[in-house]
Amino acid sequence: MSNSTFAPLLRLLLLTVGLVAALVTGGCAGLPSRDPVRMNVVGLEPIPGEGMEMRFRVKLRVQNPNDTAIDFDGVALELEVNDRSFATGVSDQKGSVPRFGETVVSVPVSVSALAAVRQALGLIDERAASPVPYVLHAKLGGPLFSGMRFTERGTFDLSALDKPAR
């Protein structure tokens, strides 16, 4: 192929790439801004496990402060305690969070026996240094690019475990 034949193809390619970049940039700028969706842990229930694992059902409250509903298809989460991975879980639950509304999503999580022992040994040394920090990483799946990721940080107060129940 000679340079005279190659030059128009190169110009056409550059023009096409430029046009696609302009459309993508303009398309993203035209999307309405959304307020961040909130996700909070609201419950934890034990469920049957297999072998040397512990299983729990984590209940998450998802709050939508926007004026359009959010459809989701799948949930994934990871819980870190004391900067160490502790529990992970996924659910293929589908649903919708209504506009200016909320919904509770349940996700079964697994805790390996090794992770539980490692955390217990770490907490024995740090019991007096309560509260214990945790980080919850979660993802609501959605169509194409509309999946949403969340991070919630908090602490567990272990000093309450030393007090007798009333």
pLDDT tens digits in sequence order for the chain, 166 residues long: 555 555 555 555 555 555 555 554 444 444 457 788 888 888 888 899 888 888 989 898 999 999 999 899 999 999 888 888 888 999 999 999 999 999 999 999 998 877 777 776 666 665 555 687 889 899 999 876 567 888 888 887 666 545 554 5
Q: Could you tell me if 74 and 156 lie in one domain? A: yes
Q: Could you tell me if 66 and 18 lie in one domain? A: no
Q: Could you tell me if 23 and 42 lie in one domain? A: no
Q: Could you tell me if 85 and 8 lie in one domain? A: no
Question: How many distinct structural domains can be found in the chain?
Answer: 2
- The domain in which residue 75 lies consists of 38-162
Residue ranges with strand state E in the chain: 38-47, 53-64, 70-81, 84-97, 101-112, 132-140, 148-156
Q: Which residue has the tokens 């509309």?
A: 146
The answer to whether 41 touches 58, Cβ cutoff 8 Å, is: yes
Q: Could you tell me if 78 and 24 lie in one domain? A: no
Q: Could you tell me if 10 and 42 lie in one domain? A: no
131: CATH: 2.60.40.10
Q: Could you tell me if 19 and 61 lie in one domain? A: no
Q: Could you tell me if 25 and 45 lie in one domain? A: no
Q: Could you tell me if 13 and 74 lie in one domain? A: no
Closest CA to 75 of 104, 53, 50, 46: 104
